Structure 1
Amino acid sequence: MTNLANIPVFLLLFIRITSFFVTLPLFSYRTIPMPFKIGFSFFLAIVMFPAINAAGIQVDELYFLLLMKEVFVGVLIGLTASMILSAVQIAGGFIDFQMGFVIANVIDPQTGVQSPLTGQYFYIIALLFLLSVNGHYLLIDGIYYSYQFIPADAFIPFKDGNIAEFIITIFNKAFLIAFQMAIPIVGCLFLVDVALGIIARAVPQLNVFVVGLPLKIFVSFVVILFFLSLYIVLAKSLFETMFDTMQGLMKLFGGA
């Protein structure tokens, strides 16, 4: 780093890592101070610099295109992980709609947007599980190994249709995982609705609208209690899908 000729290469590393942390789950939250994010990206770029083979980069008219490419790569890789992890919020939305909690959305202090109650509960458990298995280290490894597929001194060899097909695949995986997380609780609540419908026909004097809402909430809490062990298994599958998707995006950008 003492050679001034290495500054353009270091700046490319710093831009990609910073852009990566802008959209990456856990590292991009508002509760993490911005000076910490910038400082962490700076020191991480210093650590990664000796292992990156990108000598000979000069500041010319193509260098600014390389800077834009680094921003694009970092943001897209982090956004891909966020899209897969958003399956937890989607599953919580399905559950809250059946429970009647859909009108009680809360503001997530991490992202600053509204999120379902159940989805926020599952999301916190997923993040704790990610930290307990040192998954945040794997996320940092992801930005390091991205240089094996997408060198800092090379442009992205786009291929027609591959990006769109890959994005559609990401959405399909996220929706499928969300459906797997929500179907046990949603299925039980559907059976509760069927039972309430039968009771309403058999006992017309009973006001099922008054009884139904607290009953569905009680059943939901009981099912969630038994569902937590299965949820950990699904969370493990979710993170495996997230890491595989990030690697697949890197290979796609690298022309593999």
Structure 2
Amino acid sequence: MELISYITQNNIAGFLLLLLRFSGLFAFFPFFENQLVPVSVRGALSFFCTFMFFPLLPSMNYDLSLVEFIIAGVMEIMLGFVSGSILNFVFSAITFGGDLMSFSMGLTMASAYDPVSGAQKPIIAQTIAMLALVLVLTLDFHHGLFLLVSESFVHLPLGTFALSNRIIEYCVSAFVTMITVGFSMAFPIVAILLLADIIFGMIMKTNPQFNLLAIGFPIKIAIGLFVITLVIPSVIYHFQNDLISAFEFIKTIFWDK
């Protein structure tokens, strides 16, 4: 009888809105939105988290009409999409940098299936992206997500999210920064391999018997791999700072600061 009395229209509406909030996060956040996590697992995880976090909801009146409830649900999905896009800009920057590295080394054809995105990616870009994903787990990113949601119930009640000029401006700035940071990550490799191409061209001019494909191509790959081992700590360091900065901005969205 106590359970039946607890199932009211207000509690059901709050439960569904909380389910949509978790569904938006698991659908668009990095690590959770990749192909390694099946849709059925994400759905079950969303329902489980909703069930566990529902007692933390403050007492509120969710007496909404059908149209108002649909709009509130769309805003919850939009919250996950916007937050996930902000973090994906950081991951896209490191992927873009890895693609430039692969292109400079001539390894664009050396692609393999990427289980994270479900597409073919150059091996260099895929390796750096997986290293970034391991760093994310090391920083307890997944635990921070749950803390973020639990603290948002008071500062950002369910169904009250709305896009603002501040969020749009940050997304535009993050998109521009993604291209700049990605090119900055790949610049040392691109510059050194460009210098290597100039040297190879001078050698071929003075020595036409020089076989560029048989000798120059493996040398370029070896030089590129050597430089990557030198710059990868700096790449991961800047990725960590950018990720923390993006997560801090997402906190201002969830906590309405």
TM-score range, shorter chain: 0.7 to 0.9
Letter in 2 for 1:139: L
Q: Does 1:212 align with 2:216?
A: yes
Pick from 208, 213, 222 the counterpart of residue 226 of structure 2.
222
Q: Is this contact kept in 2: 1:95–1:186, CA < 8 A?
A: yes
SS of the aligned residue for 1:231 comes to helix
Q: Does 1:68 align with 2:74?
A: yes
Q: Map residues 15-34 of structure 1 onto 2, 5 A cutoff.
A: 15-34=20-39
State the distance in 2 between where 1:119 and 1:91 align: 7
Aligned length, in residue pairs: 251
Q: Map residues 61-210 of structure 1 onto 2, 5 A cutoff.
A: 61-147=67-153, 149-156=155-162, 158-159=164-165, 162-210=166-214
State the distance in 2 between where 1:157 and 1:118 align: 37
Q: Is this contact kept in 2: 1:91–1:181, CA < 8 A?
A: yes
State the distance in 2 between where 1:97 and 1:144 align: 43
Residue range with higher mean Cα deviation, 182-191 or 86-95: 182-191
Following TM superposition, the consecutive aligned residue runs of length 4 or more in structure 1 with deviations greater than 6 angstroms are none
State the distance in 2 between where 1:242 and 1:158 align: 17
Query: Aligned in 2, Cα 1:141/1:192: closer, same or farther, shift over 3 Å?
Result: farther
Q: Is this contact kept in 1: 2:56–2:150, CA < 8 A?
A: no
How many angstroms does 1:44 deviate by? Answer: 1.7
How many angstroms does 1:154 deviate by? Answer: 2.3
Q: Is this contact kept in 1: 2:75–2:160, CA < 8 A?
A: no
Letter in 1 for 2:224: S
Q: Is this contact kept in 1: 2:29–2:80, CA < 8 A?
A: no
Q: Is this contact kept in 1: 2:14–2:62, CA < 8 A?
A: yes
How many angstroms does 1:157 deviate by? Answer: 5.7
SS of the aligned residue for 2:109 comes to helix
Residue range with higher mean Cα deviation, 167-176 or 20-29: 167-176
Query: Aligned in 2, Cα 1:193/1:144: closer, same or farther, shift over 3 Å?
Result: farther
Equivalent residue, structure 1, for 2:40: 35
SS of the aligned residue for 2:116 comes to coil
Q: Given the two structures, how large is their TM-score scaled by the length of structure 1? A: 0.86
Pick from 59, 62, 67 the counterpart of residue 57 of structure 1.
62
Residue range with higher mean Cα deviation, 216-225 or 226-235: 226-235
Equivalent residue, structure 2, for 1:12: 17
SS of the aligned residue for 1:62 comes to helix
Q: Is this contact kept in 1: 2:58–2:154, CA < 8 A?
A: no
Q: Is this contact kept in 2: 1:16–1:73, CA < 8 A?
A: yes
State the distance in 1 between where 2:197 and 2:33 align: 40
Query: Aligned in 2, Cα 1:32/1:191: closer, same or farther, shift over 3 Å?
Result: same
Q: Is this contact kept in 1: 2:93–2:178, CA < 8 A?
A: yes
Identical amino acids, percent of aligned pairs = 26
How many angstroms does 1:129 deviate by? Answer: 1.5
Unpaired segments of 5 or more residues in structure 1? Answer: none
SS of the aligned residue for 1:107 comes to strand
Unpaired segments of 5 or more residues in structure 2? Answer: none
Q: Given the two structures, how large is their TM-score scaled by the length of structure 2? A: 0.86
